[in-house]
Amino acid sequence: MLNTLSGRFLILTVIFVMLAEVLIFVPSVARYREDYLLSRLERAQIASLALLADDMIEEELEDELLRNAEVFNVVLRRDEMRQLMLSSPIPSPIYSTYDIRNAGAFELIRDAMMQLLDREDRVIRVIGAPVWDAGLLIEITMETGGLRRAMVDYGVNILLLSAVISIFTAFLLFLAVRAILVRPIKGVVGYMQSYAAAPEDARRIIQPSAGVTELREAEEALQSMQTELTAALKQKERLAQLGGAVAKISHDLRNILTSAQLFTDRIEMSEDPTVVRLAPKLVNSMTRAINLCESTLAFGKAEEPPPTLSRFLLAEVVADVIDSERLAIGDYDLSFGEDIPAGLTVRADPEQLFRVISNLVRNARQALVATGKPGEISVEAHEADDAWFIHVTDTGPGLPPKAQEHLFTPFQGGIRKGGSGLGLAISSELIRGHGGVLTLHSTGSAGTCFEICLPKGDVVSG
């Protein structure tokens, strides 16, 4: 029970209530001591008045009056005269004198604590103001033994009462905490355990019902997380199914393209100038298509294959991409620009870099065609001391905020309507395989620019 929230709350409540009672105990004992002394002064005054009423009081009656007042002698000051009213032998010298007429709270508390800690029975003098204005002051001499015993009894009663109150209060708070906090928390834990058993079951998602604001916020946060996780799991399942289907399609498509490649080899022997000019590009396209199918088949077993790094002229790869896109646009008013230094060579996988640049240029072309307005796509590259930078820029309408939020996430970062978002996700993965990064450099109404950063150096382990 000590490890539970309600159990610890119960113990802390008892401790704090007892601490509060102890803080009350000190002034309470001081107040009790003051009342005790005042009552002895009042009794002594009554005994003095009895003596004033009859000057011929017998010695036995005087002793009885002093015993009843629990004092040794009484001095009454009336009309500027100090008069010993009652007296008896004092067993020891007077230890201390206490004037309680104008004593402050700190002084009363200090004297009470010293009295409570002093175990010896001493004789003290107490000075106070007579009741009913029966004089200027009254002074008594008394022992401290009875006072201390009365203070101890009073203190014990106070502590026992405090313990009962604290336990009762803690028990009520214990029940309240269990009803307000512990039970709802257990409900949340139950929902989490139930959801963990079958996270794909939407019926197990928590429905917020707590009346406490903080618990309600926790339930709502848990509901949001469970909803997103369930959707992600369903998407993962769909991706797995899609991957299996794509692998089958790629297998058959690879066979078809291989056959087509054989026919393409025959076309290369044609003497038609147009065929001679276009045949190499057709062969390259067929080769890339076959390689893509083989990579797709490998994707079901692992991630994208590691790049095969070699040095090549970047301008040739970019030219192949631009030539392919020019064939795709037909009569649409779209221009292409290339700003690649003639001798710029990069160290990368040419096939994978072709796929990346092709994806970026194709996305830009599709975005411009969708607007129905003329536009321009340009590919620019430059070399820095530690990296090569390639920029693919278009004059399109820019990316919407939703597309920017999940730009490189499969099936969520689609730029155009109906797009899957796989192109950018694959491109980003390919560039990461080179140790580089693909980023959205800028986007807006003036156009969009993607940046490819390819590092020059190899990673050297220390």
Confidence band for 458, pLDDT divided at 50, 70 and 90: low
Smallest Cα–Cα separation from 431: which of 304, 292, 288, 250?
Answer: 304
**Is 440 strand, coil or helix?**
strand
Q: Is 412 contained in some domain?
A: yes
Q: Is 117 contained in some domain?
A: yes
For residue 417, is pLDDT > 50?
A: no
Q: Is 105 contained in some domain?
A: yes
**70-79, 126-135, 299-308, 342-351: the lowest-pLDDT one:** 299-308
For residue 418, is pLDDT > 70?
A: no
In angstroms, the CA 124 to CA 70 distance is 12
Which pairing describes strands 387-394 and 375-383: parallel, antiparallel, or unpaired?
A: antiparallel
Last residue of a domain, one of 147, 171, 195: 171
For residue 330, is pLDDT > 50?
A: yes
The pLDDT, as a whole number, for residue 268 is: 62
Confidence band for 459, pLDDT divided at 50, 70 and 90: very low
For residue 393, is pLDDT > 50?
A: yes
Domain extent for 322 = 306-455
Q: Is 460 contained in some domain?
A: no
Q: Are residues 166 and 310 in the same domain?
A: no
The pLDDT, as a whole number, for residue 389 is: 96
Q: Is 416 contained in some domain?
A: yes
Tokens of 375: 């536009």
For residue 139, is pLDDT > 90?
A: no
Cα Rg of the chain, angstroms? 49
The pLDDT, as a whole number, for residue 136 is: 76
Confidence band for 377, pLDDT divided at 50, 70 and 90: very high
Domains of the chain: total: 2
In angstroms, the CA 296 to CA 289 distance is 10
Tens of pLDDT along 184-218?
888 888 888 888 887 777 777 888 887 778 778 88
User: Mean pLDDT: which of 162-166, 290-294, 396-400 is highest?
Assistant: 396-400
For residue 342, is pLDDT > 60?
A: yes
Residues whose CB is less than 8 angstroms from the CB of residue 284 and which lie 6 or more positions away in sequence, other chains included: 320
The pLDDT, as a whole number, for residue 340 is: 93
User: Mean pLDDT: which of 158-162, 165-169, 220-224, 411-415 is highest?
Assistant: 220-224
Tokens 């000019």: give the residue: 277
| Helix or strand run (H / E) with residue 66 | helix 59-69
Last residue of a domain, one of 129, 151, 171: 171
Q: Which domain CATH number covers 385?
A: 3.30.565.10
The pLDDT, as a whole number, for residue 369 is: 85
Helix, strand, coil: what percent of the chain each, to 5?
Answer: 60, 15, 25
For residue 409, is pLDDT > 80?
A: no
User: Mean pLDDT: which of 20-29, 149-158, 399-408 is highest?
Assistant: 149-158
Q: Are residues 315 and 167 in the same domain?
A: no
Cα separation of the two ends of the chain:
53
Q: Provide the CA 145 distance to its chain's centre, in angstroms.
A: 61
247, 297 in Cβ contact below 8 A? yes
Smallest Cα–Cα separation from 152: which of 125, 126, 122, 119?
Answer: 119
Last residue of a domain, one of 171, 203, 220: 171
What is the full DSSP assignment across 338-367? Answer: EE--TT-EEEE-HHHHHHHHHHHHHHHHHH
More confident residue, 285 or 390: 390
For residue 75, is pLDDT > 50?
A: yes
The pLDDT, as a whole number, for residue 460 is: 40
Q: Is 261 contained in some domain?
A: no
Q: Is 256 contained in some domain?
A: no
Q: Is 219 contained in some domain?
A: no
Tens of pLDDT along 84-138?
777 788 888 988 999 888 888 888 888 888 888 888 888 988 988 887 666 678 8
227, 205 in Cβ contact below 8 A? yes
